[in-house]
Amino acid sequence: MPKCTIDGKEVEFKPGENLVSVAKRAGIEIPVFCYHPGLSVVAQCRMCYVEVEKMPKLQTACSTQAAEGMVVKTQSEAVKKGRAGTMEFLLLNHPLDCPICDKSGECDLQDNSFGHGSEFMRHSEERRTYVDVDMGPVIQKNMNRCIHCTRCIRFGDEVAGIHEMVAIKRGNNIDITTIDGKQLKTEYAGNYSDICPTGSLTLKDFRFKKRAWMLKKTPTVCEGCSKGCNMEVQHEGNVVYRCVPRENLEINKYWMCDEGRFNYQYVQDPSRIVDPMKKAGDSWLVARWEELLSGLRTDAAGASVLFLVGTDLTNEEMKAIQDAARALSPKIQIQSFGTPGVETSGQDGPRDQILKMKSKTANLKGAESLGISPLLGSAKSDVVVVFRGGRAELPRIEAKKAYGVGVFLEKERNFFHAILPGLSFLEKDGTVINHQGVPQGMKRALLPRGRCKSTGEMLMLMLNQRNNEVTA
């Protein structure tokens, strides 16, 4: 591999790689605004100046490809002066909004200003201000903070496949806005907030809820569809505040869709059932765990029993259910349910040209790998036990007795005779297999709500109850 020298370090590079990513591999951070590894290079913010030997002027590292024998300096006096100058220009019109800006704490402009700018400003003229248009339900716009890096425009063009952000007017009056001031249409709008290096485009859902530095971050996998986008759950005090994508070049690159981003909301829905409950006539009563589990055990040992496994469960849970069913009675049938119309991975496929898949649950492949056949039509049996992670769409159930095990909202409980509350995808560890067959780990971010128990614990308690009776 060819080599170049950056700050005295010899670094190998792939031909065609730019200096920002080569330097990053060597542990040298070059400050950037307009450059994003997932977007095309435009080199218009001029923040990434570096000095290249034998070149008369400073070069922008994002648009300079590494070459054999190139000697690059990222910390020379000329570079520092260039960066400080760029920072000063970018901040000429930037408001001192950090105390109320949702980007604050994770803001590239803050970081780079702190690292490369000056503490003082030399101008006292009035700053440019804009009137902002409504950008729809996802994104809150504040153009006063914009530094015109055009990342958002390029994201729409190159990733979301819709040209909806534009730069209008020239020079000092430049305004980044949507075409004709329309609302954003893309189903990937949340990414605008992630890629904007300033607080110009922020999430409405997250607005003023928390400051970025107060959040705990847990890496996990989105359960929104069989793509399995890598994401990070940001939470504090057992409450999730937002989800952001994590880089995984094989699966979701740097992005995620809005459906997956805001999917966490059902986990903390006030109408989620978090106590074991049973139906008594028309009303629902809170029950004891032992009572429901022994009822379930007695019913499951009966004549015709169907265990329905949601394809939103993890492999571990599915396996535990299979084992428990075998231990209870060999007659129990196990079938999977998830997205109507996408029963097998053969029917699964991309829903659009970006990320979304047709299967709305994360682990269709996992259910298949464990040999669970899909449920076709409605669930007919004497006893039906539905195991569900919270996202699989409930099929029609025709049964004398139906149990719901897992995550259910109040409006979904009417099919059932009893609900045994389980854990959602944010409250458990486990493995899911995405549409490419890549197994990925989900990580627990939250503690269980109320009296919820994991599927494994429920099954264990149920089986042990039986053993106790056998020995007693």
Partner 1 sequence: MLAIRKPGFLNRLYLIEIIRGLWITMKNFLFHKKVTLQFPEQRRDYSNRYRGQHYIKAVNGVENCTACMLCPTVCPAECIHIVAGEREDKEKYPVKFEIDSLRCCFCGMCEEACPKDAIKLSNIYEMSQQTRTVYEKDFLLEQRGNK
Per-residue contact string for residues 188-227; x = within reach of ligand FES by CB under 6 A: ----------------------------------------
Binding to ligand SF4 by residue 301, rule CB under 6 A?
Answer: no
- When the beta carbons of 5 and 104 are compared against partner 1, the nearer one is 104
Nearest alpha carbon to residue 395 among 310, 304, 296: 310
With CB under 8 A as the contact rule, the residue among 124, 208, 341, 411 that binds partner 1 is 208
Rounded CA separation 230/64 (Å) = 30
With CB under 8 A as the contact rule, the residue among 67, 71, 78, 100 that binds partner 1 is 100
Binding partner of 60, given ligand SF4, ligand FES, partner 1, none, CB within 5-8 angstroms per partner class: ligand FES
Binding to partner 1 by residue 133, rule CB under 8 A?
Answer: no
55-74 residues near ligand FES, rule: CB under 6 A: 60, 62
Binding to partner 1 by residue 413, rule CB under 8 A?
Answer: no
With CB under 6 A as the contact rule, the residue among 19, 22, 39, 47 that binds ligand FES is 47
Binding to ligand SF4 by residue 97, rule CB under 6 A?
Answer: yes
Q: Name the 3-class secondary structure at 379.
A: strand
Q: Do residues 139 and 189 touch, judged by C-beta distance below 8 A?
A: yes
For the chain, the C-alpha Rg in angstroms (whole number) is 27
If phi over 0 gives left and psi between -120 and 50 gives alpha, with beta otherwise, what is residue 238? left
Supply the minimum distance, in Å, between the C-beta of residue 153 and ligand SF4. 7
Nearest alpha carbon to residue 275 among 410, 399, 395, 460: 410
Burial class (CB in 10 A: 0-12, 13-18, 19+), 77: exposed
Q: Single out the segment in contact with ligand FES by CB under 6 A; choices: 33-41, 103-111, 200-208, 211-219.
A: 33-41
Cα–Cα distances (Å) from 472 to 275, 298, 465, 466, 469, in that order, read: 29, 17, 10, 10, 5
Binding to ligand SF4 by residue 198, rule CB under 6 A?
Answer: yes
Binding partner of 211, given ligand FES, partner 1, ligand SF4, none, CB within 5-8 angstroms per partner class: partner 1
Supply the minimum distance, in Å, between the C-beta of residue 93 and ligand FES. 17
Q: Do residues 178 and 184 touch, judged by C-beta distance below 8 A?
A: yes
Binding to ligand FES by residue 155, rule CB under 6 A?
Answer: no
Cα–Cα distances (Å) from 189 to 46, 356, 399, in that order, read: 27, 14, 42
- When the beta carbons of 120 and 208 are compared against partner 1, the nearer one is 208
Rounded CA separation 347/35 (Å) = 38
Supply the minimum distance, in Å, between the C-beta of residue 116 and ligand FES. 13
* Strand (E) or helix (H) holding 240: strand 239-245
- When the beta carbons of 64 and 434 are compared against ligand FES, the nearer one is 64
With CB under 8 A as the contact rule, the residue among 99, 171, 270, 341 that binds partner 1 is 99
Binding partner of 189, given partner 1, ligand FES, ligand SF4, none, CB within 5-8 angstroms per partner class: none
Please give the distance of CA 202 from its chain centroid, rounded to a whole number.
Answer: 16
Binding to ligand SF4 by residue 199, rule CB under 6 A?
Answer: yes
Supply the minimum distance, in Å, between the C-beta of residue 149 and ligand FES. 7
- List the beta bridge partners of residue 401: 383
Binding to ligand FES by residue 307, rule CB under 6 A?
Answer: no
- DSSP structure class, residue 160: I
Q: Single out the segment in contact with partner 1 by CB under 8 A; choices: 31-39, 172-180, 209-217, 404-412.
A: 209-217
Extract the tokens encoding 248: 């995984």
Cα–Cα distances (Å) from 385 to 289, 310, 323, 411, 414, in that order, read: 16, 11, 15, 18, 14
Supply the minimum distance, in Å, between the C-beta of residue 258 and ligand FES. 27
Binding partner of 209, given partner 1, ligand SF4, ligand FES, none, CB within 5-8 angstroms per partner class: partner 1
Binding to partner 1 by residue 211, rule CB under 8 A?
Answer: yes
In degrees and rounded to multiples of 5, residue 113 shows phi and psi of -65, -40
130-169 residues near ligand SF4, rule: CB under 6 A: 145-152
DSSP string, 292-330: HHHHHHHHHTSSSEEEEEETTS-HHHHHHHHHHHHHH-T
Sign of torsion, CA 283 288 292 295?
Answer: negative
Binding to ligand SF4 by residue 196, rule CB under 6 A?
Answer: yes
Binding to ligand FES by residue 48, rule CB under 6 A?
Answer: yes
Give 413's contacts (C-beta < 8 A, 6+ positions apart).
273, 277, 284, 404, 419
* Contact set with ligand FES (CB under 6 A): 32-35, 43-48, 60, 62
* Contact set with partner 1 (CB under 8 A): 98-100, 104, 207-209, 211, 213-214
* Contact set with ligand SF4 (CB under 6 A): 94, 97-99, 101, 103-104, 107, 109-110, 145-152, 176, 196-201
